Amino acid sequence: MPSVLVTGSRGQLGSELQVLAPLYPTLQFHFMDSSSLNITDASAVEAWFEENKPDYCINCAAYTAVDKAETETEKAFAANASAVGYLATASAKQGTRFIHISTDYVFDGTATQPIKEDQPVKPLSVYGSTKQRGEELALTLAPGSMVIRTSWVYSSFGNNFVKTMLRLMADRPTLNVVNDQMGTPTYAADLAKAILDIVLFLESEKDESKYGGIYHYSNEGAISWFDFAKAIATMSGSKCEVKPIPSSAYPTPAKRPAYSVFDKTKIKNTFHLTGFAWQDSLQTCLLQIQQLLAK
Active site residues: 127
Give CB contacts under 8 A, 24+ apart, made by 113-116. 113/263, 114/222, 114/261, 114/262, 114/263, 114/264, 115/216, 115/260, 115/261, 115/262, 115/263, 116/216, 116/263, 116/265, 116/266
Residue 98, SS3 per DSSP: strand
Angle between helical axes of 188-204 and 12-20 (0-180°, round to 10): 60
Residue 220, SS3 per DSSP: strand
Shortest CA distance to 282 belongs to which of 168, 170, 99, 160?
A: 160
Instruction: Provide the b/e sequence for 18-39 (b: ≥16 CB within 10 Å).
Output: bbbbeebeebebbbbbeeebbb
